[in-house]
Amino acid sequence: MVPSLQVQLLAPSGCGRAVARMHPSSPLLSGLPPCAATTLCAPDIPRQVLPQIPVKRGGPQGAGVLGVHLEGPFISQQKRGAHPEAHLRSFAADAFCDVLATYGPLDNVSVLTLAPELEHSQEVIRALTARGIRVSLGHSVADLRTAEAAVQSGATFITHLFNAMLPFHHRDPGIVGLLTSDQVPPGRRIFYGMIADGIHTNPAALRIAHRAHPQGLVLVTDAVPALGLGNGRHTLGQQVVEVEGLSAYVAGTRTLCGSIAPMDVCVRNFLQATGCSVESALEAASLHPAQLLGLEKQKGTLDFGADADFVVLDDTLHVQATYISGELVWQAEAARE
Ligand SMILES: [Zn+2]
């Protein structure tokens, strides 16, 4: 089944406190296993927020955290999505020092998204990779050649494929072309996040990606704190977001700002869209993200010696119970009777 809960931390911006807490009752199936995505706001915020989100084990009080996924500020102006333009940055000449000055210590970080077309990005990718931090490409206008160079420098992940990047073009497929590139170093696998919330990615696009490169597909929720709060106005860091049905927009615009679909919804959407096996759909939410993070011996598997983090699902893939380290931490009403 599935290994662990997911924490999606989007935009701690401005809040000065971590929002990376997901109660285990959240019917999540694990995306990046307890990993988090952070959208930035004011420049001094990451240095304040990151120390508040230590890597930790999960338990009855909430999901574990395997590390933070940082998105921004080193991303493209043109493909910034919901990221406030005023906070976007390019790298200074002493690029990795600039990264450290921006974020502070990176001890709690497991994934960092950047736009590889930014000058000095290659040296940053090499430095991050050497520290064991996964580099992800996204919010970018990179062409395929630039994306391939980034992969050769160590990048292994693509942030929410198709969203916030150049659309596929047959003469230059851009970052999307990495799914079938012949320039990926032997023995390396490119992983890519897909938001299968039914809003961010058309089912046909899901099928294209899945059929081109099924082993790299990682289901992500891209969830914002408004997940589970219903229609109306909510906050995303310093921004106000408007939730309408299944979509979350920057208030007053039609700019999507993350999703409000929990992981089990994404798994069911993905299964329906691709017609893949149940096992494949579950692996996209469990095994693949664990492999991306190099944790496949502990997470994303029920093999001997692995952490006993798993979710019990019924035949329709609705969550019945959640276990962390072999301990029952949540159970659906119906399952209790
Ligand atoms: Zn993003």
So where are the chain's domains?
Answer: 35-305
Answer yes or no: is pLDDT of 5 > 70.
no
Question: How many A from CA of 328 to the centre of ligand 1?
Answer: 33
Residue 188's CB: how many other CB atoms inside 10 A? 11
Per-residue pLDDT tens over the stretch 120-163: 999 999 999 999 999 999 999 999 999 999 999 999 999 999 99
Query: CB-based contacts of 86: which residues, under 8 Å, 6+ apart?
Result: none
Q: What is the pLDDT of residue 42?
A: 66
> How many Å apart are CA 224 and CA 235, to the nearest integer?
9
Among residues of the chain, what percentage have pLDDT more than 90?
Answer: 74
**Residues that place a CB less than 5 A from ion ligand 1:** 71
> 170 versus 14: which is more confidently predicted?
170
Report pLDDT digits (tens) over 127-139.
999 999 999 999 9
- Annotation says 222 is catalytic: yes
Give the Å distance between the CA of 223 and the centre of ligand 1: 10
Binning pLDDT at 50, 70 and 90, where does residue 45 land?
A: confident
Residue-wise pLDDT for 69-87, tens only, equals 999 899 999 999 888 899 9
Q: 37 C-alpha to center of ligand 1: Å?
A: 8
Kind and range of the H or E element at 40? none
User: Is the predicted pLDDT of residue 26 greater than 70, yes or no?
Assistant: no
pLDDT of residue 316: 96
> How far is the centre of ligand 1, averaged over its atoms, from the C-alpha of 279 (Å)?
27
Q: Are 144 and 135 in contact (CB under 8 A)?
A: no
Based on the number of CB atoms within 10 Å of its own CB, is 105 exposed (0-12), middle (13-18) or buried (19 or more)? exposed
Report pLDDT for 27.
33
State which CATH number among 2.40.340.10, 3.40.50.300, 3.40.225.10, 3.20.20.140 fits the domain covering 35-305. Answer: 3.20.20.140
pLDDT at 73: 94
Residue 40 reports pLDDT greater than 60:
no
pLDDT tens figures, 302-315: 999 999 999 999 99
User: Angle of helix 263-274 relative to helix 278-285, nearest 10 degrees?
Assistant: 140
Please tell me the distance between residue 253's alpha carbon and the centre of ligand 1 in angstroms.
17
Region 240-268: mean pLDDT is 91
pLDDT for the residue 44: 79
Give the Å distance between the CA of 164 and the centre of ligand 1: 7
What value does the mean pLDDT take over residues 247-253? 91
How far does the centroid of ligand 1 lie from the alpha carbon of residue 26, in Å? 22
Q: Is the dihedral of CA 119, 183, 132, 111 positive or negative?
A: positive
User: From ligand 1's centre to the CA of 159, what distance in Å?
Assistant: 7
- pLDDT for position 234: 94
Q: What is the pLDDT of residue 203?
A: 95
Rounded to the nearest integer, the mean pLDDT of the chain is 87
- Rounded Cα distance, 288 and 295, in Å: 10
pLDDT in the model for residue 41 = 54
Q: What's the pLDDT at 245? A: 85
Q: Is the pTM of this model over 0.85?
A: yes
Query: Choosing from 197, 222, 264, 309, which is the catalytic residue?
Result: 222
Residues of the chain with pLDDT > 70: what percent? Answer: 87
Lowest mean pLDDT among 116-120, 207-211, 250-254: 250-254
> Do the Cβ atoms of 142 and 175 come closer than 8 Å?
yes
